[in-house]
């Protein structure tokens, strides 16, 4: 959510930003919110003036009573009552306008960084850099579920009976590999100075609307029936929510946290063959990283965060590339975003395994995460990035470490988490 003062003073900038995100249907909202904001401020001005007048008149009542002017005092009381009723109506009007303004402001997209390429959707994202040499072996690589089945490592049929499509049982060495990757990612981020955290896996609606747009919320979140609770789609939601309505001393920044959690997502719509198996699912586990920092430091942290993911994947012998997300592919709260994609030797192309985002002060403004600095209080900047999400990452791992004889190599850094095994057979 952008600053209403910024919108008030720069309506054309906000409109151009909406056009850059190809959301022209939202253009009328800018003028609408300016009009409502003006009415809200006018109502507030009238209410403040009336409040001062009422208080001034109220003080006269005691003096009149002391002078024995009881009738005049009673008339003054009636006048105060009338002023109070008028004030109550104005306060209600002011509240109504303010609520309408806030509702619209929650829909207007955040101002994107000038460096973001302009494009309609993810097909226009821009490749930035490749890390590692993508290799296509001279033997056929099976679909990832076929690789897992050869190790008796997955049971989709039983999961379908128990929970339906989009769920899975991982078994044996494949399940162990899944847990090993999570543990390795946890220690990898701790070694980089991040504080490990296991957050709540459910959050209240005010946190949900604080960390994401209404469109994302509808597409992703599972609601707990009869309660003001949602299952998290990523631990970033509850991790940023940890700082709701807080004032952080400037010298305590940055806050750098890495968190483990299960994640739950609706994943609406039909998906192609490459997105079946454990690629696009309703439940998975993930290691995440978040940063709460000073505004001037968020570009630097953005670069550090995506680099962490690249380094982790390269340590597991998986080639990756980074893609700059174009304007039309950015969620409404994001200022800038880079996707990390892993190489798939089977598909002979890269696919997304993580996303790094700078949200500026959008989440902090919604959640009231403020910083107490030398020159006063201001809103913090928040960033997040996927360290690793094993179900999808397992696809890249198995394909890139598969041998012609069907065994899977275990990179040295992961061997301690796999009981010293050098390969899965």
What are the tens digits of pLDDT across the range 135-168? 999 999 999 999 999 999 999 999 999 998 889 9
């550090």: which residue's tokens? 304
Is residue 42 located within the same domain as residue 189?
no
Assess whether 278 and 205 both reside in one domain.
yes
pLDDT tens-digit readout, 87-109: 888 888 888 888 899 999 999 99
Domain annotation covers residue 113 = no
Is 188 within the bounds of a domain?
Answer: yes
**Do 93 and 166 belong to one domain?**
no
Predicted pLDDT at 87: 80
Specify the number of domains making up the chain: 2
The residue from 105, 134, 160 where one domain ends is 105
Regarding whether 140 and 100 lie in a shared domain, the answer is no
Are residues 83 and 139 part of one domain? no
- How distant, in Å, are the alpha carbons of 60, 66, 71, 74, 79 from that of 54? 10, 20, 19, 15, 8
Does residue 115 form part of some domain?
Answer: no
pLDDT of residue 45: 84
Instruction: For residue 290, give its domain range.
Output: 122-424
| 3-class DSSP state of 377 | strand
Contacts for 314 with CB less than 8 Å, ≥ 6 apart: 131, 132, 320
Residue 412 in any domain: the answer is yes
Question: Are 42 and 98 a contacting pair, CB within 8 Å?
Answer: no
Same domain, 267 and 176: yes
Run means of pLDDT, 10 residues per run, the chain, 425 residues: 92 97 96 92 83 75 70 73 79 87 93 97 96 94 93 93 91 96 97 97 94 80 93 94 97 97 78 59 93 97 97 96 97 96 95 95 96 95 95 92 95 96 94
Burial code of 93-132, b = ≥16 C-beta within 10 A, e = fewer? bbeebbebbeebbeebbbbbbeebeebeeeeebeeeeebb
Residue 140 and residue 249 in one domain: yes
Q: What are 5's two structure tokens? A: 């003062």
Compute the chain's Rg from CA coordinates: 27
3-state secondary structure of 285: strand
Whether the link from the prior residue into 385 is cis, omega within 30° of 0, is no
Domain assignment of residue 203, yes or no: yes
- CB contact at 8 A, 423 and 412: no
Helix H or strand E segment including 355? strand 349-358
């Amino acid at each position: 959510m952008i600053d209403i003062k910024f919108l008030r003073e720069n309506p054309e900038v906000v409109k151009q930003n909406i056009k850059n995100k190809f959301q022209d249907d939202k253009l009328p909202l800018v003028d609408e919110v300016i009009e409502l904001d003006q009415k809200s401020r006018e109502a507030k001005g009238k209410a403040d003036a009336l409040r001062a007048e009422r208080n001034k008149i109220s003080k006269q009542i005691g003096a009149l009573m002391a002078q024995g002017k009881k009738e005049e005092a009673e008339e003054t009381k009636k006048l105060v009552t009338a002023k109070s009723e008028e004030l109550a109506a104005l306060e209600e009007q002011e509240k109504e306008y303010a609520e309408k303004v806030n509702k619209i402001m929650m829909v207007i997209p955040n101002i994107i960084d000038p460096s973001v390429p302009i494009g309609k959707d993810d097909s226009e994202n821009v490749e930035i850099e490749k890390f590692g040499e993508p290799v296509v072996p001279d033997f056929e690589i099976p679909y990832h579920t076929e690789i897992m089945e050869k190790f008796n490592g997955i049971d989709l049929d039983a999961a379908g009976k128990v929970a339906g499509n989009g769920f899975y049982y991982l078994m044996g060495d494949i399940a162990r590999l899944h847990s090993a990757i999570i543990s390795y990612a946890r220690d990898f981020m701790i070694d980089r100075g991040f504080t490990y955290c296991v957050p709540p896996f459910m959050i209240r609606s005010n946190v949900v609307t604080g960390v994401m747009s209404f469109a994302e919320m509808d597409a992703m979140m599972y609601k707990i029936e009869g309660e003001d609770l949602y299952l998290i789609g990523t631990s970033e939601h509850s991790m940023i929510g940890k700082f709701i309505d807080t004032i952080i001393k400037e010298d305590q920044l940055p806050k750098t946290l890495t968190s483990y959690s299960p994640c739950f997502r609706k994943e609406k719509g039909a998906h192609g063959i490459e997105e079946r198996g454990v690629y696009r699912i309703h439940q998975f586990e993930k290691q995440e990283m978040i940063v709460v920092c000073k505004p001037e430091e968020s570009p630097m942290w953005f670069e550090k965060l995506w680099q962490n993911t690249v380094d982790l994947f390269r340590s597991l012998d998986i080639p990756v590339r980074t893609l700059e997300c174009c304007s039309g592919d950015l969620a409404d709260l994001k200022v800038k975003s880079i996707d990390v994609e892993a190489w798939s030797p089977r598909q002979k192309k890269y696919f997304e395994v993580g996303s790094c985002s700078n949200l500026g002060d959008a989440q902090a403004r919604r959640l009231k995460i403020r910083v107490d600095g030398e020159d006063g209080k201001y809103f913090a900047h928040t960033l997040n990035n996927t360290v690793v999400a094993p179900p999808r990452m397992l696809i890249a791992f198995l394909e890139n470490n598969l041998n012609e004889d069907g065994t899977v190599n275990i990179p040295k850094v992961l061997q301690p988490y796999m009981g010293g095994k050098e390969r899965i057979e």
